A and B are shown apart, each in its own frame.
Chain A
Amino acid sequence: MLHESLLGLSSEGRPRHATGLLAEVEAAAAAAGGWQDVDLIAVGLGPGSFTGVRVGIATAQGLSASLGLPARGVCTLDALGRGIGAEPGAEGQRLAVLDGFRGEVFAALYGEDGERIWEPAVYKPEQLSERVADLDTTPLVAGSGAVRFRHELTEHGVRIPDDADPVHRVAARHVCAIAATAAAGEVGQLAPIYLRPPDAERWRERDPFPTAE
């Protein structure tokens, strides 16, 4: 097999991506030798900030269409989990926890070989903590949600690396590594992973305009 350069766009985090992402991508492509040396575009599908996820996917879709390159989506928690698994001392289970905003987290549990044990889901930190307490083992926990809710999560004795540890950040190279072995997605079919319905119901409540009924 020929050498394959992959370029990953991680869309986890705040929608600062709108201004920062494309320049990063162009720089990464240039570092790889230019777009002609790139074979595949990988993108984090979330969960994350709704807007951030969309900026990442829209950028990947636009690049894919414009360059005629295939694009593949990767669950952002999977990429985080893979990063935790690469840590020295991560021989057991790993729990990937992203800040889900509004006092909640997105989390998924992975086994020793990186296989998913818990599917990605939304939790209140206390709920997640209780679920972790029921485990037979003590997983290594990391991610923006682990940093933010360290207090709640460490109650049952899990290990969370220092806040400054890069393991808490989703790395684009893990998005790429997973995408390289994943099934190819059709251009324009990169389905975001929101894990939450739109705020339609809230919005309806906020609407001050009364109806006739």
Chain B
Amino acid sequence: MMSANEREQSTRAELLLAIETSCDDTCAAVLDGARILSNVISSQAAAHEGFGGVVPEVAARHHLELATPVIDAALGEAGVTLDDIEAVAVTAGPGLIGALLVGVSTAKAIAAARRLPLIPVDHLQGHVAANFLEPEPLAPPFLCLVASGGHTLLAAVREHGGYELLGQTLDDAAGEAFDKSARLLGLGYPGGPALEKEAEGGDPEAFEMPVAMARDPGLDFSFSGLKTALVYRCRELGPEQTAARRADLAASFQAAVVAQLTAKLRRALRRNPWEAVALGGGVAANGPLREAVGRLCEEHGVRLKLVPIALCTDNAAMIGSAARYATPIAYPDYLGYDAFASGERQADGPISGDIGPKSAHRPLV
């Protein structure tokens, strides 16, 4: 059910410029309400390839080079100029602090020079809000699973402006586990797609992998044990056998990740009745995960919303979407606004996001 305030907000036809630089993609988008006019993503994957993961300083350097061209491209593709923009939204955190600061500094300067309001957005709220975008917006309430290279979380979304965190990873994110395991198996970066492709020809039951947290009654995730198990399997096999049985190793690892994600989702569906489940984040592009979650939703008679692939990985359209339900800060109150890294959050910041009980959870990694 939408509150009167939400209905009023969501029908507000506002042209928003949104900027996202929390990790290794430089992103800008223009939204007209829930409609995406442009959504530009400049991936830095190639720059980080040799490292098997994101190097924070490398990411920050690239963001600085790419920010202006990406923003120009977003405005150009949308067919608007800054004169048309009514507010500037930006990811304020969590993420890599050096990377975030490039986006936040740019957004603040663009907004301040034009006396526009600034709307800082929680990155995770962005992933949740990807579901609110046209052409097929999903309205709360729904259960939302976000699995990406930076985060893994299960959230109860009962309103547009926030979510209740039901579970999150206690160590590595699901996508991070994919990346590291792909590196271990000598596959490319980003590891998710490479590992999925390798797994296609493999037997998912060839190697026994622990389904972590299976006995844990909560809804949190853990992937570091799985990664360690793969290290041991590879050591036992030796380099030659590891290479020979790479497809089986990849398939077994992938099956274990999918099993853990779906097990927690199943538990959440059993606890409370839900009408819809939304699956997002970069790992949501994984075929076997999509299939498994699809089957699970069918079993429970729940509607499944798959976030379009382009909106699964980090992007600025989802940040703009979250901004529509967040509190704008008027000029000049945001001149001193700071980004926040992982695990820290401005105490009185106007950021929406996790509105559930916090004590039981570790900070997001």
**Which residues of A are interface residues toward B (Cβ below 8 A)?**
15, 18-23, 26, 35, 50-51, 54-55, 57-63, 65-67, 187-188, 192, 194, 198-200, 203-204, 207, 209-213
Q: Tell me the complex Cα distance, A204–B50, Å.
A: 10
A50-B98, A65-B68 known; 4 other A-B pairs, CB under 8 Å? A23-B335, A65-B72, A194-B61, A200-B57
Residue contact A212 to B109, C-beta cutoff 8 Å: no
| Complex contact A19–B51 (CB within 8 A) | no
Whether the pair A22, B242 counts as a contact (CB closer than 8 A) is no
Q: Beyond A22-B336, A198-B61, is A67–B185 a contact (Cβ under 8 Å)?
A: no
A20, A50, A59: the one within 8 Å of B60 (CB): A50
Interface pair A203/B51, CB less than 8 Å apart = yes
- Residues of B within 8 Å of A192, CB to CB, are 61, 64
* A203–B183 CA distance with the chains assembled, in angstroms: 16
Instruction: Identify which of A58, A59, A194, A212 contacts B185 (C-beta below 8 A).
Output: A212
Cβ–Cβ < 8 Å partners of B338 in chain A: 18-19
**Is the Cβ of A209 less than 8 Å from the Cβ of B184?**
yes
Q: Would you give the 0/1 interface string for B50-62, flagging 1 where the beta carbon is closer than 8 Å to chain A?
A: 0111011110110
12 contacts between A and B (CB under 8 A): A19-B336, A22-B112, A26-B335, A59-B108, A59-B109, A62-B107, A62-B108, A67-B113, A187-B68, A188-B72, A204-B51, A210-B231
Query: Given the complex of chains A and B, what is the CA–CA distance between A23 and B51 in angstroms?
Result: 38
Q: Are B101 and A51 in contact (CB under 8 A)?
A: yes
- B180 near A: Cβ within 8 Å? yes
* 4 smallest beta-carbon distances between A and B, as pairs: A62-B109, A188-B68, A66-B113, A58-B105
A18–B101 CB distance below 8 A: yes
A63 to B242, CA, bound (A): 54
Which of A50, A198, A212 has its CB near the most chain B CB atoms (within 10 A)? A212
Chain B residues near A19 (CB-CB < 8 A): 336-338
Asked, given contacts A199-B55, A213-B186, whether A18 binds B107 with beta carbons under 8 Å apart, the answer is no
Contacts of A187 in B (CB 8 A): 68
Q: Is B174 interfacial (CB 8 A cutoff)?
A: no
A23 near B185: Cβ-Cβ < 8 Å: no
With A51-B60, A67-B113 in contact, is A62–B106 under 8 Å at CB? yes
User: In the complex, which residue of chain A has the Cβ closest to the Cβ of B57?
Assistant: A198
B180 touches A200 (CB 8 A): no
CA gap between A188 and B339 in the complex, in Å: 22
Contact partners of B185 in chain A: CB under 8 A: 212
B107 to chain A, nearest CB (A): 7
B114 at the interface (CB under 8 A from A): yes
A212–B234 touching, CB < 8 Å: yes
Q: How far is the CA of A193 from the CA of B112 in the complex (A)?
A: 26
Residues of chain A within 8 A of B234, CB atoms compared: 212
Give complex CA distance A91, B338 in Å. 43
Residue of B nearest to A196 (CB): B57
Query: Which chain B residues in 57-115 approach chain A with CB under 8 Å?
Result: 57-58, 60-61, 64, 67-69, 71-72, 82, 97-98, 101-114
B357 interface residue, CB < 8 Å from A? no
Task: Report the nearest A residue to B228, measured CB to CB.
Answer: A209
B58: chain A residues at CB < 8 Å are 198, 200
Q: How far is the CA of A211 from the CA of B234 in the complex (A)?
A: 10
B218 beta carbon closer than 8 Å to chain A: no
CB-CB < 8 A to B227: which residues of A?
209
CB closest residue in chain B, given A22: B335
Q: If the complex has contacts A62-B108, A188-B68, A199-B55, are A211 and B184 also in contact, measured as CB distance less than 8 A?
A: yes
Among B51, B57, B227, chain A packs the most CB atoms within 10 A around the CB of B57
**Chain B contacts for A188, CB-based, 8 A:** 67-69, 72
A186 to B, closest residue via Cβ:
B68
B287 part of interface (Cβ distance < 8 Å): no
Q: Bits for B40-53, please: 1 = Cβ < 8 Å to A, else 0.
A: 00000000000111
Which of A62, A200, A213 touches B51 (beta carbons < 8 Å)? A200
The answer for the CA separation of A200 and B58 in the assembled complex, in Å, is 7
Contact A66 B110 (CB under 8 A): yes
How many angstroms between the C-alpha atoms of A135 and B270 in the bound complex? Answer: 79
- Nearest B-chain residue to A198, judged by Cβ: B57
